[in-house]
Structure 1
Amino acid sequence: MLGQCYNIKTDKSELLSDVRSRLWFTYRKKFSPIGGTGPSSDAGWGCMLRCGQMILGQALVCRHLGREWRWVPEGEQPAEYHRILHCFLDRKDSCYSIHQMAQMGVGEGKSVGEWYGPNTVAQVLKKLALFDEWNSLAVYVSMDNTVVIEDIKKQCLQADRESRPGRPCTSGESSEQGCSSRPPACPFSQPHAQSPSRWKPLLLVIPLRMGINSINPVYIQALKECFKMPQSCGVLGGKPNLAYYFIGFIGDELIYLDPHNTQPAVDSESGTLVDDLSYHCQRTPHRMKITSLDPSVALGFFCRSEEDFDSWCNLVQQEILKKRNLRMFELVEKHPSHWPPFVPPTKPEVQTTGAEFIESTDQLFESEEEFEILNV
């Protein structure tokens, strides 16, 4: 499970503690209407967006707290933990809220209230991450079933002036004097300092189509290998129109967190502790047969450092590419010459929030329709 191995007979309590510690995002109701006049609940349509929140939440937990961190009900948690939760609260000013994700999806041709696929939600997260200065995360979404090492290193090692820390403007001071008139996207925070040679932590998302109407059995063992990797952040997928967040496997069954549970929205003022009991699933985790998995999925991996990414590349070579005749995806060193040049995405030079850039950032990603017609 997410890079950890458990014996179901002797390690059951440790396994359940690990599952409970994952951030669990579900349907919510009675939040402020999306866009001011839109829905005030995402029940029935937001399950893939919630799964996208979970895979990103896992990356942020690994980034700030580490994979070994465990949640204790009603126990005291690090300040970073509450900062992470604030990023996902159901309010328009939280950087990864259902509001931000739904409105950013309009640029992908998805109306607010429309169901998303794994690739679409990955692309939305990539756009929103550009406006998240505190977490300072690079989100790379592979295209054409191909992960390009050169492009990832270019994105993670780029000098990003936008992510350098800035102090807020004081009374009578203007932004030309070196301060920032725009508050960080997440509360509590000032962005982490960046230098031209520093690796920006990476969330790598690989959208795949592993069959036509059902998963091709030839991919099953490779999928299991992905959950074994220390960099694993889980898998977005499910059944037709039912999205789940998969975190591991037992035998030929997948373990998953289910977002299809409607809970009241949690409201918390900026800078305060979040009532977090509803953000952790304390029931026995769900399981389903791997063969029941819809073939459209997105694999997630978190690489804290360049060495971590290099280690992931070696694992992919050894455990997935060299052992399989039919590969899940390709891992190449150089940017393919027949592809358009790779330009790392950057935040637009305007003082506003991410959701208002729907039109100006359309060029950052291709449509899901293009992804769906790839050859299998």
Structure 2
Amino acid sequence: MFQSLLNLKYSWQQSSKEDINNKELVDAVISILGFSIKNLPSEKKKELIQQMYSRTIWFTYRKNFPQILNSQQTSDAGWGCMLRSGQMIWAQILRVHIRQKKQHSKDYQYKLLCAFADDDDDEHKKLLTNDLKVCLSPYSIQKIETISQIKFSTKPCQWYRPDQVLNAFLQLHQLKPLEGSEDLQISISDNLLYDRLYCEMYGLQMDCEHIINEIKMDKTKEISKICNICQKQQPKSLAIFLLTRIGLEEINKDYLPFLNDLIDLPYFQGIIGGKDDKAYYILGRVNKKLIYLDPHYIQEHINRGNILMLKETFFCKDVKYINEESMSPSIALGFYCQNQMELDKFFTTVEEIKKNYNNDKIFGYINRITPNSIIVGIDENDFLVIQDEDL
């Protein structure tokens, strides 16, 4: 009964959802998963939004899957929306990473969907013994729950925050990366720090004085020309997740212009957040309306054996929009940099965007060097005020 009511509510919301009309699309700023759509007729713009939306992997609530460790739960309905949203943004970054290498096999989409299958034949129990030599579903909901209980002492089947689900993916990826993503690194922080991102891309320690000293001498120097010693390391691609809170109970509208500038970046791969404790995966925007995928629809669980037969359950055709001011203030933004050149361009662009705003209009600490800092107070938005010791 509960599951039927949730699906009924989903269907009602779908029938009464916000939409975009052709008039709004005439001069609209349209950004979706790193792509900018402009200088086209309104009908063509709408068609492209539809195509990109319907090809993005959609994870939803599932039912009747193998029970989750230390619980009797066989469905995540009512509590797993952040887990599903996290699966969506991570699947999108894996998809982009594997495709950009241009070495993927024809069945890469099948393998990608398998990696998130709910029915993992008790593979999650291997996490207890670190025996993951054979693991076909490294990002199943059972494994997310199990690794979270092991590493973070979370209770079974509770609602997750963005940072919790992303750190679970970080742990799982380090244990057993999906084939083709071994050269992908994950960075999770509430700040954007140039030297830290570089070190993470190259697998270096943060005490690399060569990097720090070079940046101090020339803050405009391209990071690719910094350190010959560091160049001996093999760089990886980087999935960057920026955790932030842009308001307390409601969105602080002052942050929205800066947020929209970040959504417009070619490196942008989505936001996990939502509205009223309902997590969504946000793909982009049309002016002030956000395009999102909604996980709050209950479907029968799918195992690796029938994914191809039921592949359509992983894709949604009906584009959904939400007003940006209705979004939850607790969000995580995802970006992808394939190589060092893209990381340089990404950070330089963010620095340029930052110059357009006063400090109280941006979120996250953005700097070339990780500072030696001290906490000097708390502002009116309940954020820590941090000051460099050198100031």
TM bucket by the smaller chain?
A: 0.7 to 0.9
* Range with bigger deviation, 12-21 or 273-282: 273-282
Decide which of 107, 110, 134 is 1:79's aligned counterpart: 107
User: Aligned residue for 2:199?
Assistant: 154
User: Aligned residue for 1:98?
Assistant: 141
Q: Deviation string for 1:79-115 (max 9, x for gaps)? A: 2222211111112531111111112222334212100
Q: Secondary structure at the match of 2:69?
A: helix
Decide which of 172, 175, 197 is 1:131's aligned counterpart: 175
CA distance in 2, matches of 1:297, 1:31: 28
Verify the 8 A CA contact 1:158 1:196 in the aligned structure 2. no
1:330 aligns with 2:365: yes
1:294 aligns with 2:325: no
Query: How is 1:1-376 mapped onto 2 (pairs within 5 angstroms)?
Result: 1-7=32-38, 8-35=42-69, 37-66=71-100, 78-90=106-118, 91=120, 92-93=122-123, 94-106=137-149, 107-133=151-177, 134=179, 135-136=181-182, 137-142=184-189, 145-158=190-203, 197-269=233-305, 275-283=310-318, 285-319=319-353, 321-325=354-358, 326=360, 327-338=362-373, 374-375=383-384
Shift of 1:151: 1.9
Verify the 8 A CA contact 1:82 1:273 in the aligned structure 2. yes
Letter in 2 for 1:298: A
Kindly indicate which of the two structures has a greater share of residues assigned to strand.
2
CA distance in 2, matches of 1:219, 1:265: 39
Q: Secondary structure at the match of 2:76?
A: coil
Q: Secondary structure at the match of 1:152?
A: helix
Kindly indicate which of the two structures has a greater share of residues assigned to helix.
2
Shift of 1:239: 1.4
Shift of 1:268: 1.4
Shift of 1:338: 4.7
Verify the 8 A CA contact 2:71 2:156 in the aligned structure 1. no
CA distance in 1, matches of 2:204, 2:34: 31
Letter in 1 for 2:241: V
Q: Secondary structure at the match of 1:288?
A: strand
% same residue: 28
Verify the 8 A CA contact 1:253 1:289 in the aligned structure 2. yes
Verify the 8 A CA contact 2:277 2:328 in the aligned structure 1. no
Question: How many residues align structurally?
Answer: 297
Structure with max Cα Rg: 2
Change (3 A) 1:38 1:203: farther
Unmatched segments (≥5 aa) in structure 2 = 1-31, 124-136, 206-230, 375-380, 386-391
Q: Deviation string for 1:227-262 (max 9, x for gaps)? A: 211111100111132000001111211110000011
Verify the 8 A CA contact 1:157 1:196 in the aligned structure 2. no
Shift of 1:196: 5.7
Letter in 2 for 1:105: S
CA distance in 2, matches of 1:213, 1:57: 29
Letter in 2 for 1:99: Q
CA distance in 2, matches of 1:121, 1:336: 27
TM-score, structure 2 length as denominator? 0.71
Shift of 1:269: 4.2
